[in-house]
Amino acid sequence: MSQEMRTRVNDLLGQAKKVIFGQDDLLDSIIAALVCEGHLLIEGLPGLGKTLSVSTMSKLCDLSFKRVQFTPDLLPSDLVGTMVYSQQREEFSTKFGPIFTQLLLADEINRSPAKVQAALLEAMAEKQVTIGDSTHKLASPFVVLATQNPIEQEGTYPLPEAQLDRFMMKVSVEYPDFSSEMSILDLKDSGKTEISPIITTDDILEMRDEVEKVHIDKKMKELIVRIVRGTRPGDENFSSDYNGLIQVGASPRAAIWLQKLGQFMAFLAGRDYVSPDDILKVIPSVLGHRVLLTYEATIDNLNSRDLVLKIAHKMI
Protein backbone atom coordinates (compact mmCIF):
# COMPACT_ATOMS: atom_id res chain seq x y z
CA MET A 1 0.00 0.00 0.00
CA SER A 2 2.82 2.43 0.90
CA GLN A 3 4.47 1.96 -2.50
CA GLU A 4 1.20 2.63 -4.30
CA MET A 5 0.66 5.79 -2.22
CA ARG A 6 4.18 7.03 -2.92
CA THR A 7 3.67 6.47 -6.64
CA ARG A 8 0.48 8.51 -6.59
CA VAL A 9 2.13 11.35 -4.68
CA ASN A 10 4.98 11.41 -7.20
CA ASP A 11 2.43 11.40 -10.05
CA LEU A 12 0.62 14.30 -8.36
CA LEU A 13 3.81 16.34 -7.99
CA GLY A 14 4.79 15.51 -11.57
CA GLN A 15 1.44 16.76 -12.83
CA ALA A 16 1.68 19.93 -10.73
CA LYS A 17 5.16 20.66 -12.10
CA LYS A 18 3.70 20.70 -15.63
CA VAL A 19 1.75 23.80 -14.60
CA ILE A 20 4.02 25.38 -11.96
CA PHE A 21 7.62 25.81 -13.08
CA GLY A 22 10.61 26.47 -10.83
CA GLN A 23 8.73 26.15 -7.51
CA ASP A 24 9.39 22.49 -6.66
CA ASP A 25 10.10 23.19 -2.97
CA LEU A 26 6.78 25.00 -2.59
CA LEU A 27 4.82 22.12 -4.17
CA ASP A 28 6.61 19.57 -1.96
CA SER A 29 5.82 21.69 1.11
CA ILE A 30 2.11 21.94 0.21
CA ILE A 31 1.72 18.15 -0.04
CA ALA A 32 3.66 17.81 3.24
CA ALA A 33 1.26 20.29 4.87
CA LEU A 34 -1.77 18.34 3.63
CA VAL A 35 -0.51 14.94 4.78
CA CYS A 36 0.83 16.17 8.14
CA GLU A 37 -2.10 18.63 8.50
CA GLY A 38 0.13 21.55 9.36
CA HIS A 39 -0.20 25.16 8.27
CA LEU A 40 2.20 26.73 5.81
CA LEU A 41 3.48 30.32 5.61
CA ILE A 42 4.63 31.23 2.10
CA GLU A 43 6.82 34.32 1.73
CA GLY A 44 7.55 35.68 -1.71
CA LEU A 45 7.19 38.60 -4.08
CA PRO A 46 4.03 39.00 -6.19
CA GLY A 47 3.78 37.06 -9.45
CA LEU A 48 5.80 33.99 -8.44
CA GLY A 49 2.90 31.52 -8.66
CA LYS A 50 1.96 31.22 -4.98
CA THR A 51 -1.80 31.37 -5.52
CA LEU A 52 -1.63 29.22 -8.67
CA SER A 53 0.39 26.57 -6.80
CA VAL A 54 -2.19 26.32 -4.02
CA SER A 55 -5.22 26.21 -6.35
CA THR A 56 -3.52 23.63 -8.60
CA MET A 57 -2.74 21.35 -5.65
CA SER A 58 -6.31 21.66 -4.37
CA LYS A 59 -7.64 20.45 -7.75
CA LEU A 60 -5.14 17.58 -7.96
CA CYS A 61 -6.10 16.48 -4.42
CA ASP A 62 -9.84 17.01 -5.02
CA LEU A 63 -10.14 19.31 -1.98
CA SER A 64 -12.47 22.24 -1.35
CA PHE A 65 -10.53 25.48 -1.76
CA LYS A 66 -11.24 29.09 -0.74
CA ARG A 67 -9.13 32.21 -1.12
CA VAL A 68 -9.43 35.24 1.14
CA GLN A 69 -7.66 38.49 0.34
CA PHE A 70 -6.64 39.97 3.69
CA THR A 71 -7.08 43.75 3.86
CA PRO A 72 -6.98 46.33 6.69
CA ASP A 73 -10.79 46.59 6.71
CA LEU A 74 -11.42 42.80 6.83
CA LEU A 75 -13.65 41.78 9.76
CA PRO A 76 -13.59 38.47 11.67
CA SER A 77 -17.16 37.83 10.45
CA ASP A 78 -15.92 38.13 6.84
CA LEU A 79 -13.66 35.18 7.55
CA VAL A 80 -15.56 32.86 9.90
CA GLY A 81 -19.18 33.86 9.26
CA THR A 82 -21.96 35.47 11.31
CA MET A 83 -25.51 35.10 12.59
CA VAL A 84 -28.16 36.44 10.17
CA TYR A 85 -31.72 37.27 11.22
CA SER A 86 -34.52 36.13 8.89
CA GLN A 87 -37.64 38.31 9.17
CA GLN A 88 -39.65 35.72 7.26
CA ARG A 89 -38.84 32.89 9.69
CA GLU A 90 -38.31 35.23 12.67
CA GLU A 91 -35.14 33.43 13.72
CA PHE A 92 -31.37 33.64 13.43
CA SER A 93 -29.45 31.36 11.11
CA THR A 94 -25.72 30.84 10.71
CA LYS A 95 -24.03 32.15 7.59
CA PHE A 96 -20.73 30.28 7.29
CA GLY A 97 -17.66 32.14 6.08
CA PRO A 98 -14.92 31.03 3.66
CA ILE A 99 -12.91 29.45 6.50
CA PHE A 100 -15.21 26.42 6.22
CA THR A 101 -13.12 24.65 3.63
CA GLN A 102 -10.25 22.17 3.51
CA LEU A 103 -7.61 24.38 1.92
CA LEU A 104 -7.71 28.07 2.84
CA LEU A 105 -5.42 30.50 1.06
CA ALA A 106 -4.95 33.56 3.27
CA ASP A 107 -3.47 36.00 0.79
CA GLU A 108 -1.25 38.71 2.32
CA ILE A 109 -2.11 37.55 5.84
CA ASN A 110 -0.16 40.36 7.48
CA ARG A 111 -2.46 43.06 6.06
CA SER A 112 -5.29 42.43 8.54
CA PRO A 113 -5.59 43.68 12.14
CA ALA A 114 -5.36 41.69 15.38
CA LYS A 115 -9.05 40.72 15.64
CA VAL A 116 -8.95 38.90 12.31
CA GLN A 117 -5.66 37.22 13.26
CA ALA A 118 -7.25 36.05 16.53
CA ALA A 119 -10.22 34.52 14.69
CA LEU A 120 -7.87 32.73 12.30
CA LEU A 121 -5.66 31.57 15.17
CA GLU A 122 -8.57 29.74 16.82
CA ALA A 123 -9.22 27.86 13.59
CA MET A 124 -5.53 27.04 13.11
CA ALA A 125 -5.00 25.90 16.70
CA GLU A 126 -8.28 24.22 17.61
CA LYS A 127 -9.63 23.20 14.18
CA GLN A 128 -12.91 24.86 15.16
CA VAL A 129 -14.70 28.19 14.83
CA THR A 130 -17.03 30.01 17.23
CA ILE A 131 -19.97 31.91 15.70
CA GLY A 132 -22.32 33.46 18.24
CA ASP A 133 -22.79 30.91 21.04
CA SER A 134 -22.08 27.89 18.86
CA THR A 135 -18.80 26.15 18.09
CA HIS A 136 -18.42 24.47 14.72
CA LYS A 137 -15.80 21.86 13.84
CA LEU A 138 -13.83 22.34 10.64
CA ALA A 139 -13.36 19.70 7.93
CA SER A 140 -10.34 17.40 7.89
CA PRO A 141 -7.84 18.04 6.50
CA PHE A 142 -8.00 21.75 7.29
CA VAL A 143 -4.85 23.56 6.22
CA VAL A 144 -4.12 27.29 6.09
CA LEU A 145 -1.66 28.34 3.41
CA ALA A 146 -0.83 31.98 4.08
CA THR A 147 1.21 34.32 1.89
CA GLN A 148 3.06 37.50 2.74
CA ASN A 149 5.24 39.96 0.82
CA PRO A 150 8.80 40.10 2.27
CA ILE A 151 9.50 43.64 1.00
CA GLU A 152 6.45 45.87 1.35
CA GLN A 153 5.83 46.59 5.04
CA GLU A 154 3.68 49.73 4.77
CA GLY A 155 0.15 49.10 6.02
CA THR A 156 0.97 45.66 7.42
CA TYR A 157 0.56 44.11 10.86
CA PRO A 158 3.55 41.86 11.65
CA LEU A 159 2.42 38.41 12.74
CA PRO A 160 2.92 37.84 16.50
CA GLU A 161 5.34 35.09 17.58
CA ALA A 162 2.45 32.99 18.95
CA GLN A 163 0.84 32.89 15.52
CA LEU A 164 4.12 32.30 13.67
CA ASP A 165 4.67 29.28 15.92
CA ARG A 166 1.37 27.80 14.70
CA PHE A 167 2.76 27.48 11.19
CA MET A 168 4.38 24.11 10.61
CA MET A 169 6.78 25.58 8.07
CA LYS A 170 7.72 28.87 6.47
CA VAL A 171 8.77 28.59 2.83
CA SER A 172 10.55 31.33 0.89
CA VAL A 173 9.60 31.47 -2.79
CA GLU A 174 12.37 32.69 -5.08
CA TYR A 175 12.42 33.71 -8.76
CA PRO A 176 12.37 30.72 -11.17
CA ASP A 177 15.55 29.91 -13.12
CA PHE A 178 15.98 30.77 -16.83
CA SER A 179 14.70 27.47 -18.27
CA SER A 180 11.67 27.49 -15.91
CA GLU A 181 10.76 31.01 -16.99
CA MET A 182 11.01 29.95 -20.65
CA SER A 183 8.63 27.07 -19.86
CA ILE A 184 6.18 29.56 -18.34
CA LEU A 185 6.06 31.46 -21.64
CA ASP A 186 5.54 28.22 -23.60
CA LEU A 187 2.68 27.24 -21.28
CA LYS A 188 1.01 30.61 -21.78
CA ASP A 189 1.20 30.22 -25.54
CA SER A 190 -0.12 26.66 -25.64
CA GLY A 191 -2.89 27.11 -23.08
CA LYS A 192 -3.08 25.75 -19.54
CA THR A 193 -2.78 22.04 -18.89
CA GLU A 194 -6.01 20.25 -18.02
CA ILE A 195 -6.07 19.37 -14.30
CA SER A 196 -7.93 16.35 -12.98
CA PRO A 197 -7.84 14.89 -9.43
CA ILE A 198 -5.18 12.27 -8.73
CA ILE A 199 -5.77 11.66 -5.01
CA THR A 200 -8.79 12.19 -2.74
CA THR A 201 -9.36 13.20 0.87
CA ASP A 202 -9.53 9.50 1.85
CA ASP A 203 -6.13 8.96 0.20
CA ILE A 204 -4.63 11.82 2.21
CA LEU A 205 -6.02 10.41 5.47
CA GLU A 206 -4.72 6.96 4.55
CA MET A 207 -1.33 8.43 3.69
CA ARG A 208 -1.27 10.12 7.09
CA ASP A 209 -1.70 6.73 8.76
CA GLU A 210 1.14 5.30 6.67
CA VAL A 211 3.44 8.19 7.60
CA GLU A 212 2.73 7.66 11.32
CA LYS A 213 3.86 4.03 10.95
CA VAL A 214 7.36 5.12 9.84
CA HIS A 215 9.73 4.13 12.64
CA ILE A 216 11.67 6.87 14.41
CA ASP A 217 14.43 5.59 16.68
CA LYS A 218 15.02 6.92 20.19
CA LYS A 219 18.39 8.31 19.05
CA MET A 220 16.66 10.28 16.29
CA LYS A 221 14.19 11.71 18.83
CA GLU A 222 17.11 12.70 21.05
CA LEU A 223 18.76 14.39 18.05
CA ILE A 224 15.58 16.39 17.33
CA VAL A 225 15.33 17.55 20.94
CA ARG A 226 19.03 18.49 21.05
CA ILE A 227 18.69 20.54 17.85
CA VAL A 228 15.62 22.41 19.15
CA ARG A 229 17.20 23.02 22.55
CA GLY A 230 20.38 24.11 20.77
CA THR A 231 18.51 27.19 19.52
CA ARG A 232 17.70 28.38 23.07
CA PRO A 233 20.19 30.75 24.74
CA GLY A 234 21.08 29.52 28.23
CA ASP A 235 20.37 25.85 27.48
CA GLU A 236 23.22 23.35 27.99
CA ASN A 237 22.89 22.38 24.30
CA PHE A 238 23.32 25.98 23.15
CA SER A 239 26.77 26.64 21.66
CA SER A 240 28.76 29.66 22.84
CA ASP A 241 29.52 30.32 19.14
CA TYR A 242 26.05 31.83 18.84
CA ASN A 243 26.11 34.04 21.96
CA GLY A 244 24.52 37.38 21.24
CA LEU A 245 22.92 36.20 17.99
CA ILE A 246 19.68 34.53 19.15
CA GLN A 247 17.13 36.28 21.33
CA VAL A 248 14.45 33.55 21.53
CA GLY A 249 14.78 29.88 20.55
CA ALA A 250 12.29 27.38 19.11
CA SER A 251 9.38 25.97 21.12
CA PRO A 252 8.59 22.27 21.80
CA ARG A 253 6.07 22.51 18.93
CA ALA A 254 9.06 22.70 16.59
CA ALA A 255 10.26 19.29 17.82
CA ILE A 256 6.83 17.78 17.12
CA TRP A 257 6.87 19.05 13.53
CA LEU A 258 10.46 17.94 12.97
CA GLN A 259 9.45 14.42 13.95
CA LYS A 260 6.32 14.39 11.76
CA LEU A 261 8.07 15.88 8.75
CA GLY A 262 11.04 13.54 9.23
CA GLN A 263 8.62 10.61 9.01
CA PHE A 264 7.01 12.14 5.90
CA MET A 265 10.39 12.60 4.19
CA ALA A 266 11.31 8.98 4.97
CA PHE A 267 7.94 7.84 3.59
CA LEU A 268 8.53 9.72 0.32
CA ALA A 269 12.02 8.22 0.06
CA GLY A 270 10.58 4.70 0.39
CA ARG A 271 12.10 3.97 3.81
CA ASP A 272 10.34 2.72 6.94
CA TYR A 273 12.73 4.58 9.27
CA VAL A 274 13.84 8.19 9.75
CA SER A 275 17.45 9.19 9.02
CA PRO A 276 19.33 12.38 10.03
CA ASP A 277 19.12 13.59 6.41
CA ASP A 278 15.31 13.53 6.63
CA ILE A 279 15.50 15.90 9.59
CA LEU A 280 18.13 18.18 8.03
CA LYS A 281 15.99 18.70 4.90
CA VAL A 282 13.25 20.43 6.88
CA ILE A 283 15.33 22.24 9.55
CA PRO A 284 15.38 25.70 7.82
CA SER A 285 11.63 25.67 7.07
CA VAL A 286 10.58 24.42 10.52
CA LEU A 287 12.99 26.35 12.76
CA GLY A 288 13.83 29.44 10.68
CA HIS A 289 10.68 31.42 11.56
CA ARG A 290 10.61 30.23 15.17
CA VAL A 291 14.05 31.57 16.09
CA LEU A 292 14.13 35.28 16.85
CA LEU A 293 17.50 36.91 16.14
CA THR A 294 18.96 39.76 18.18
CA TYR A 295 19.19 43.30 16.84
CA GLU A 296 22.96 42.88 16.37
CA ALA A 297 22.49 39.72 14.28
CA THR A 298 19.89 41.48 12.13
CA ILE A 299 22.24 44.41 11.56
CA ASP A 300 24.92 41.94 10.43
CA ASN A 301 22.41 40.53 7.87
CA LEU A 302 22.46 37.06 9.45
CA ASN A 303 19.76 34.69 8.22
CA SER A 304 17.89 32.60 10.80
CA ARG A 305 17.39 29.75 8.28
CA ASP A 306 21.16 29.44 7.74
CA LEU A 307 21.85 29.77 11.45
CA VAL A 308 19.53 26.94 12.54
CA LEU A 309 21.03 24.67 9.87
CA LYS A 310 24.52 25.35 11.26
CA ILE A 311 23.24 24.52 14.76
CA ALA A 312 21.71 21.27 13.49
CA HIS A 313 24.92 20.19 11.72
CA LYS A 314 26.89 20.70 14.94
CA MET A 315 24.53 18.30 16.75
CA ILE A 316 25.05 15.40 14.33
Q: What percent of the chain has pLDDT over 90?
A: 46
Q: Within 10 A of 139 (CB to CB), how many other CB atoms are there? A: 13
User: Which is the CATH superfamily of the domain at 214-315?
Assistant: Magnesium chelatase subunit I, C-Terminal domain (1.10.8.80)
Q: What angle do CA 193, 198, 204 make, to 5 degrees?
A: 135
| pLDDT reading at 98 higher than 90 | yes
Dist. CA 83–CA 94, nearest whole Å = 5
Q: Topology of domain 2-204, per CATH?
A: Rossmann fold (3.40.50)
Dist. CA 117–CA 119, nearest whole Å = 5
**Is residue 307 within a helix (H) or strand (E), and if so which, with residue range?**
helix 304-315
pLDDT digits (tens, 9 = 90+) for 250-264: 999 999 999 999 999
Instruction: State the average pLDDT over residues 152-179.
Output: 83
Tell me which of 88 and 38 has the higher pLDDT: 38
Tell me the pLDDT of the chain averaged across its residues. Answer: 88
pLDDT of residue 191: 47
Where exactly are the structural domains of the chain?
Answer: 2-204, 214-315
Residue-wise DSSP of 92-152 = EEEEE-TTSSSEEEEETGGGS-HHHHHHHHHHHHHSEEEETTEEEEPPSS-EEEEEE-SS-
Query: Going by DSSP bridges, is the β-strand pair 292-293/246-248 parallel, antiparallel, or unpaired?
Result: antiparallel
Residues counted in the chain: 316
pLDDT digits (tens, 9 = 90+) for 171-225: 988 888 898 888 888 775 444 556 788 888 899 989 999 999 999 999 999 999 9
pLDDT of residue 188: 58
> Which residues lie across from 96 on neighbouring strands?
81
HEC profile of 230-299 = CCCCCCCCCCHHHCCCEEECCCHHHHHHHHHHHHHHHHHCCCCECCHHHHHHHHHHHHCCCCEECHHHHH
| pLDDT reading at 309 higher than 90 | yes
